[in-house]
């Protein structure tokens, strides 16, 4: 039988100390692969697992990439971190993602455990590798019961996924790109039906840490839409924690749909519109 420690996930990156990926200071694991294709994605190279096409090899000036048995292999010790390989990839991927076992991650978590509040798994989309997330959280809970385990998710997962994580996940942070399904499809390529169901489900279970609203000027930020969103969220929990995030262009792919950064005044206005609909715990960034 495979032990939890031997279970591996396709990991894109690790941040050992983060204050923006959940409450407190957190150890964050970013997984490769996502079921959305968001126009405003800040980590587009995490969308698709590498297909080993080799296009990135010529872009690497340090020899950190090589083709071995028809697989692109990344040598971290030779990499200077220019991300030229990511820029060269036409498939929204990275050759730097690699399988890492729970045991490997636990070695790193042990070194930081005295300085962190918990562990967050993000992405890409964390729920695309739910078995690995469960194995990692199981190991964390067994060794460090005082650390919280959070998932940062787009919410597009079946109820069975959340049922499977329920015994080891303390809470989740869910992105709501838009309450209007037609606009949501334009922004992400997918319906928001599962996202809305996830928010309702996790709130009912007491496992919804916050809802995150990424707002783009002129696309999903109308007063009418924000008020409707506020009413919908207030009906679930009038004191819900909500993070209002203004779109930033940094790291985002070129888009045929104009994406406009909202000003600081616009971001505060979004919060005011939402506050009129509930007693929300609002943060604006």
Instruction: Round to whole Å and give the CA distance between 157 and 178.
Output: 17
d(CA 248, CA 216): 9
**What pLDDT score does 1 carry?**
36
* pTM of this prediction exceeds 0.75: yes
Ranges of residues in the chain with a pLDDT under 50 are 1
Q: What fold characterizes domain 4-46+98-284?
A: TIM Barrel (3.20.20)
SS3 sequence of 66-129: EEECCEEEECHHHCCCCCHHHHHCCCCCCCCCEEEEHHHHHHHHHHHHHHCCEEEEECCCHHHH
What are the residue ranges spanned by the domains of the chain?
4-46+98-284, 57-88
- The tens digit of pLDDT for each residue in 1-37 reads 356 788 999 999 999 999 999 999 999 999 999 999 9
The pLDDT tens digits for 101-138 are: 999 999 999 999 999 999 999 999 999 999 999 999 99
Give the strand order in the sheet containing 208-215. 98-101, 8-18, 26-31, 118-122, 148-153, 171-175, 208-215, 241-246, 281-284
């Amino acid at each position: 039988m495979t032990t939890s420690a031997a279970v591996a996930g396709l990991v894109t990156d690790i941040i050992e100390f983060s204050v923006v990926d959940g409450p407190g200071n957190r150890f964050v694991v970013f997984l490769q692969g996502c079921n959305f294709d968001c126009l405003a994605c800040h980590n587009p190279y995490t969308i698709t697992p590498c297909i080993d096409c080799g296009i990135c090899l010529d872009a690497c000036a340090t020899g950190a990439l090589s083709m071995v048995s028809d697989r692109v292999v990344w040598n971290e010790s030779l990499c200077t971190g220019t991300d030229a390989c990511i820029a060269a990839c036409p498939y929204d991927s990275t050759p730097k993602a690699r399988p890492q076992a729970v045991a490997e991650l636990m070695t790193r978590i042990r070194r930081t455990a005295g300085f962190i509040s918990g562990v967050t798994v993000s992405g890409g989309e964390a729920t695309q590798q739910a078995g690995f997330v469960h194995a990692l959280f199981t190991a964390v809970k067994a060794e460090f019961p005082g650390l919280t385990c959070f998932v940062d998710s787009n919410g597009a997962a079946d109820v069975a996924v959340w049922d499977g994580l329920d015994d080891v996940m303390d809470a989740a942070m869910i992105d709501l790109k838009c309450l209007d399904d037609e606009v949501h499809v334009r922004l992400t390529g997918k319906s928001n039906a599962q996202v809305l169901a996830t928010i309702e489900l996790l709130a009912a279970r007491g496992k919804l840490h916050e809802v995150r609203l990424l707002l783009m000027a002129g696309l999903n930020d109308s007063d009418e839409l924000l008020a409707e969103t506020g009413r919908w969220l207030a009906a679930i929990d009038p004191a819900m924690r909500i993070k209002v995030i203004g779109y930033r262009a940094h790291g985002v792919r070129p888009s045929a749909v104009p994406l406009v950064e909202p000003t600081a005044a616009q971001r505060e206005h979004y919060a005011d519109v939402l506050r009129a609909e509930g007693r929300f715990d609002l943060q604006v960034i």
